[in-house]
Chain A
Amino acid sequence: MAENEPQQQAPPPAASGATSSGQGAPAGAPMGGQGHSGGFGGRPGGPRPQGGPRPPGGPKRGKRNFVRKKKVCRFCVEKIDLIDYKKAEILSPFIQDRGRVLPRRMTGTCARHQRWLTVAIKRAQNIALLPFAAEL
């Protein structure tokens, strides 16, 4: 539940942006005024609607119209001073299915904890608590 959070946080906005034409538009419309999306999405998004099948997306241009939720480091919130490599269930939300460490920009982990986290993950991988790569 809580473990899946960082992974889930990222996909929903991305998914709504990609499939936007129908469903994403109403939700995204009120947020059109966001500084970030206006600057970035304005020009590249401009020519596209003509060819693309997205007439309902009138006020909304581009696909980056979502509010980015401020992520906080979970380890800081829980005041963890030592990331235990033996607890695989704590580490598992921070790796991809393929076994790679998720970057900070996706999980919101602070620099210090990310540093400890990678060490812990690598140790756990060595003793087969976490995968190096996906199972065949």
Chain B
Amino acid sequence: MEERQYDLIFILRPDTPESEIDKVIATLEHAATEKGGKIEKTEKWGRKRMAYRVARLREGYYVYMILKSDHGEVVKELERRLKVADAVIKYLTVRIDEELKRQEKFKRHRERRAARRPRKTVPAAGAPGDQAAATA
């Protein structure tokens, strides 16, 4: 199976010590590699105000990860671990490789169009172009 890419965001209690946060991240990385996945990137967004209250808290410590794997087992395992971890109050996993692919497609399409278009737009950009802009 081709490789899939996931976004993994989780929120920790805001009073979690830094060492604890690193520990959670380390366990996730370990679990991912064990199951044959790979965590490409880890970003600590830090304390952020949440849009609504979660576990009676208004703030949370956000951590964002990019996960690559070729099957869904890794996600299952990571979500299980997030569920078990006490400091984690919320998490979300989203598969994004298909959307990234779509984005690539549109980007290529746009570039192709842009490369083809100049011939048409150059004459229009002269005197009539100004008029068109004024009337529009």
Q: Chain A: residues with CB nearer than 8 A to chain B?
A: 79, 81-82, 85-86, 88, 123, 125-133, 135
With a cutoff of 8 Å between Cβ atoms, the chain B residues found around residue A129 in the complex are 50-51
Beta-carbon contact of A82 and B110 below 8 Å: no
Identify 26 residue pairs between A and B in the complex whose beta-carbon atoms are under 8 Å apart, listed by A's number: A79-B110, A81-B102, A81-B103, A81-B107, A81-B110, A82-B100, A82-B102, A82-B103, A85-B94, A86-B64, A88-B51, A125-B51, A126-B92, A127-B9, A127-B11, A127-B90, A127-B92, A128-B52, A128-B54, A128-B60, A128-B90, A129-B50, A129-B51, A131-B52, A133-B52, A135-B52
With a cutoff of 8 Å between Cβ atoms, the chain B residues found around residue A133 in the complex are 52
Q: Chain B: residues with CB nearer than 8 A to chain A?
A: 7, 9, 11, 50-52, 54, 60, 64, 90-92, 94, 99-100, 102-103, 106-107, 110
Output the least CB separation between B28 and chain A (Å).
16
A129 and B49 alpha carbons, distance in the complex (Å): 8
With a cutoff of 8 Å between Cβ atoms, the chain B residues found around residue A123 in the complex are 92, 94
A106 and B129 alpha carbons, distance in the complex (Å): 30
Output the least CB separation between A124 and chain B (Å).
8
With a cutoff of 8 Å between Cβ atoms, the chain B residues found around residue A127 in the complex are 9, 11, 90-92
Further 6 A-B residue pairs, CB within 8 A, beyond A130-B51, A132-B52 = A81-B106, A82-B100, A86-B7, A123-B92, A127-B9, A129-B50
With a cutoff of 8 Å between Cβ atoms, the chain B residues found around residue A132 in the complex are 51-52
Output the least CB separation between A111 and chain B (Å).
15
A40 and B51 alpha carbons, distance in the complex (Å): 42
A127 and B9 alpha carbons, distance in the complex (Å): 8
Output the least CB separation between B34 and chain A (Å).
25
Q: For A82, A126, A128, which residue has the most chain B Cβ atoms within 10 angstroms?
A: A128
With a cutoff of 8 Å between Cβ atoms, the chain B residues found around residue A128 in the complex are 11, 50-52, 54, 60, 90
Output the least CB separation between B75 and chain A (Å).
15
User: Which chain B residue shows the least CB distance to A116?
Assistant: B99
Output the least CB separation between A69 and chain B (Å).
12
With a cutoff of 8 Å between Cβ atoms, the chain B residues found around residue A135 in the complex are 52
Beta-carbon contact of B50 and A82 below 8 Å: no
With a cutoff of 8 Å between Cβ atoms, the chain A residues found around residue B107 in the complex are 81
With a cutoff of 8 Å between Cβ atoms, the chain B residues found around residue A79 in the complex are 110
